[in-house]
Amino acid sequence: MLTMADTQQADEQAAGGTATVTPAQKRADKQAARLAKQIRAFASTHGGSAEGQLAHIGRGRTRIALVGANGEWGNLVADSYGAAEQAAEQAGITLQGDFDGELAAKVRTGPYEWSRMAGIQVGGPANP
């Protein structure tokens, strides 16, 4: 049974009043702000802009794959898809639906990546 105070709070929320923010939402907001700061730093270090792609990686976590304007790339991990989306929006980056086609063509790989890729081929060094 709703009391008058409960009804009033529900009416205020329906009318656009402030909603109660849960501790989980506070953590997600804080993480999104931290990730957005890291994304902006990545973009400014790698040509002034970046594009990204979001992908679920399991246990509710989401990878934010970033490709800078200069072709350098990197990854960040968010605890939720929503936090990853929020971080990308706050950072002002363009999100692509897939990490193939145009986005993949922008990635520049160096000797380190090539040696790592070659290392997992048949006949390459064993994984530790």
pLDDT digits (tens, 9 = 90+) for 40-85: 999 999 999 999 999 999 999 999 999 999 999 999 999 999 999 9
Predicted TM-score (pTM) of the model is: 0.74
CA 119/CA 6 separation, integer angstroms: 62
Residue 124's φ and ψ, nearest 5 degrees, are -80, 180
Helix 81-91 and helix 23-45, axial crossing angle in degrees, nearest 10: 50
Query: What is the C-alpha to C-alpha distance for residues 32 and 54, in angstroms, rounded to an integer?
Result: 14
